[in-house]
A = this chain, B = another copy of it.
Amino acid sequence: MGADSPTSSVPAIAADHPGVAELFAVLAYGEISAFYRLAEDARMAPTLQGRVALASMAAAEMGHFETLHRALTDRGIEVYAAMDPFVRALDAYHASTDPSTWLESLVKAYVGDGIAADFYLEIAHSLDPTVGGIVREVLAEVGHSEFVVQEVRAAVAASKSEKDRLMLWGRRLLGEAITQAQFVLARREDLTDLVMTATGSLNGVAALFDNMQAKHAERMAVLGLV
């Protein structure tokens, strides 16, 4: 691991760092917006099995929201006021990556969740264990991804043009996610301070985005998009 690696002996971030509440709040609104995105995308499902798979993923997101709601309330934070600054950026991400086909929605559910999880998990290393534990808990796989992998792999194995389209789609998801993450970081001082402390330096932030790109490529490969 290089000196710039986000995981290299960075000092732990205390549980009362003011960015922690912002971190929980952005995660919390992320769960709600993921819930509604999955529920809406499920309309495109060609089968009842597909609808159920997305509904189950959506339901798991709400379980994670409850965890974050509790964590914020335990800190005396009003949950809805805390989430408010993040509504615009997350809504913008979803609006700019609105799937137009069932396969696009599956790739988004799998790849989009993965990008977000990478970002937060890289930071989690440096958090006080009680805080890091909550972050890891709410980023745990929501399950049913096996269904997504099988559907997408089968479709792209059968159609070169579908594969090309979905590879572009995956690149767009990553690009929009990073754009919105930077937008949030530029506006929330406490959260930015937390991320900078977690990654150690500006170079560390760059390394974090590089790592996210590498993991994104791995996930795309799992879907047969390589």
Complex CA gap A79/B56 in Å reads 15
Hey, which chain B residues are within 8 Å of A35, CB to CB? 39, 55, 58-59
Our pick among B48, B58, B61, B63 for the contact of A83 (Cβ within 8 Å) is B48
Complex CA gap A56/B42 in Å reads 17
**Interface contact B59-A32, CB-CB below 8 Å:** no
**Interface contact A62-B59, CB-CB below 8 Å:** yes
Residue of B nearest to A42 (CB): B36
How many copies make up the complex? 2
**Interface contact B63-A59, CB-CB below 8 Å:** yes
Chain A 69-97 interface 0/1 with B at a Cβ cutoff of 8 Å (1 = within) = 00000000000100100010000000000
Complex CA gap A2/B39 in Å reads 46
Any chain B CB within 8 A of the CB of A153?
Answer: no
Complex CA gap A35/B61 in Å reads 14
Hey, which chain B residues are within 8 Å of A55, CB to CB? 32, 35-36, 62, 65
**Interface contact B65-A52, CB-CB below 8 Å:** yes
Any chain B CB within 8 A of the CB of A215?
Answer: no
Complex CA gap A179/B149 in Å reads 41
Any chain B CB within 8 A of the CB of A161?
Answer: no
Complex CA gap A87/B83 in Å reads 38
Given contacts A35-B39, A35-B55, A47-B80, 9 further A-B contacts (CB under 8 A): A32-B48, A32-B52, A35-B58, A36-B42, A39-B39, A39-B40, A48-B87, A49-B80, A56-B65
